[in-house]
Every structure is written in structure tokens, then in C-alpha cells.
A = this chain, B = another copy of it.
Amino acid sequence: MKKKNKRPSIKDIADRVGVSTALVSYVLNGQEKEKRVSAEVTQRIREVVKELKYTPNQIARSLRKGFTKTLGLIVADIANPFFGSLARFIEDEANAYGYTVIIGSSDEDCEKSSLLVDTLLNRQVDGFIIVPSDGCTNHINDLVNDEMPVVLVDRYIPGITTNYVILDNFNASMDAVGHLIFKGYRRIGMIAYQSSLIHMKERVRGYCQAMEAAGLGKNILVREVRHAHLDRDMNRVLKEILVDENKVDALYFATNAIAINGLYFIQKNKIKVPTECALIGFDGNEAFDFFASPLTFIKQPIHEMAKEAVKIVVDQINGSRKVAHIMLQHELIRRQSCG
């Protein structure tokens, strides 16, 4: 525990120079002009700061100032490529504003998410960027009611009036399914998470809408799988609709993880894409590129999402009271999996 040399404090500098800590603080914060610190003293302080390799203790500063220049970020799982990139963009963007970010993974589990919020609150983060999990209404509501700066990303919670930046999931789904229809597929199935989260609902709604608009309402086939039992559920569902019975000629996977899982099944069962079944996925992924028939997919503007989220939360921290709802548009990346 004992460091060879405990880090120097502002007091050490003041003593060395022979002035009060106030002057050191002023110089350190570039206020030597306003506070009219003499040129010699300023100079001398600068020297000693360098000599002692002084760097300010942000903890003390935070306690005094009431803010920490820290953002709390809660994602589903930092090891998931979508959230990994999102986190990386947020990290860079936040740094540009002088903020450090503390990341936590919720595993889409509401309890974990709530615990993370508590931890981050105790650590006095100045604001939150949250990918909310299913059923998280309560603790996010508490945050919002406390007027803590919050921005939800990837999804929002309909009951809560707060900032969010999301993809236009409905439209993205419409586009994906529309593309399949345009390519001539009629028996198009969708695999989605069993979730009451809005982004999932919207993706399903977009699918249904596109099907109905094309007069294919009777062909609507949505199978839900559980996040916590993805392998098992995917296996059961795909076996049912692709192997035991031939229920679809195209499949739309609602997320990255669902798609990857589906591709394993399809590869293992030697189902030919797109001849036996066309495919379309959500979010880019290197794995999609190497699949026998590279996957057509909905690309999310992750960088922009990160940028907007950080901007909004920083604005809120700086006192903005307006509520921002940002809806971004996707890009459809066309490749071979849809023929």
C-alpha cells in the first residue's frame, strides 16, 4: 500500500514556493491573469509543478466541485461486437469533451443494470448513457426524476420522458423485408428476441407492416427466442421451420447475435443460401462476410449514435433542459444472401 513517494499535493508546491495554496490553484487552473498572480510567482509555481511532476488529484477536485467529469455507460455486453464498437466510439467522443467513461455490462438483466446504476451513482458520475434492459423502467425513472442527465441508446422506454438516440427500427425492418419481397420471396419468417423492449417491437412491427402491405399478411411468421437461452431456442425454432417443415423461403434475423447463431445452424445443417433459404441480418459483423453466401444486412450508424449520445448527455450536464429524441436511419448493405 505505501507508495515509495506519495504523490505531491498542492500544499507541497505552495510550501516549496513559499506561497499559499490559493495561488497554486489559480495558476494550475490558468486563472493567473484574472486573479492577478505576479509573473514571478506564476513562473516559480510552474517550475516546481514540473520538478515535482505534480498532477492534480481529481478525487479531491471532484469532491469540492461537485462533478467528476465521468460518464457512466451501461451496455448489454461489452464483448458483443456491436456494443464493443459503440463503447469505443463513446469512449473517444467522451474523451474529446474531457470526460472519462466507466463501462458496465448488464447482460440484458434488469437487476444487474440496477446494481450498475447504483455503483455509478456512488461514484458520482455526471451523467449516464444507458442501453436499457427489459423491465428497467423503475431505476431509470428514478434517475430521470432526480434530474440526473441520462440518454438512452439503441432503445428507449416508452413510459419515460427522457433523451434517446435510436435507429428508426420500424423503417429499417420495412426496408429489409421489402428487399426480400422485391427479390421475389413470399414466405418470409422473422426471428426476434422475446422482449417487450421497443426496438424489438418496432422491428417486428416493421416486418408485419411490410408483409401486409405486400398482401402477404397470411404468411407472417415470427418466432421468439430467449436471450438467456439463445442456443437452445434457436435450435428448436430453426429445426421446426427449416428442417422438420419447410415453412419459409427467407429468414430475417432481428439482431447480430441471433443471426450468428442462425448461421451456425444453417452451416451445420447444410442449408443452401439463398436457394433453399434467403437471409438478412441486423448489424454488420465480420462473420457475415465469410459466410458461404455473404449476408445482406441492416447497417446501423454506430459512430453517429455514439456521437449524438455523448453530445446530448454533455449538453444536459451543462444545463440544457430540452429533451432530445434522435432517430437515425439505417443503410441496407446488399450482398449475396438474398439472391
Chain A residues in contact with chain B, CB under 8 A?
1-5, 55-60, 62-63, 67-68, 70, 77-81, 84-85, 87-88, 91-92, 100-105, 118-119, 121-124, 145-148, 260, 263-264, 267, 285-292, 317-319
Contact = CB atoms under 8 A, between A and B. Distances in A.
B59 A148 contact: no
Nearest to A89: B79
Contacts of A85: 79
19 contacts: A1-B67, A1-B317, A4-B147, A5-B146, A55-B121, A58-B122, A59-B59, A59-B63, A60-B63, A78-B84, A78-B87, A80-B84, A92-B105, A102-B102, A260-B286, A264-B289, A267-B289, A286-B287, A287-B289
A172 to B, nearest CB: 22
Contacts of A3: 146-148
Contact of A290 (B2, B122, B267): B267
Contacts of A147: 2-4
A336 to B, nearest CB: 12
Nearest to A288: B290
Contact of A4 (B77, B146, B285): B146
Contacts of A60: 63
A57 B66 CA distance: 11
A91 B78 contact: yes
Contact of A57 (B105, B124, B288): B124
A53 to B, nearest CB: 9
A72 to B, nearest CB: 10
A3 to B, nearest CB: 5
Nearest to A295: B290
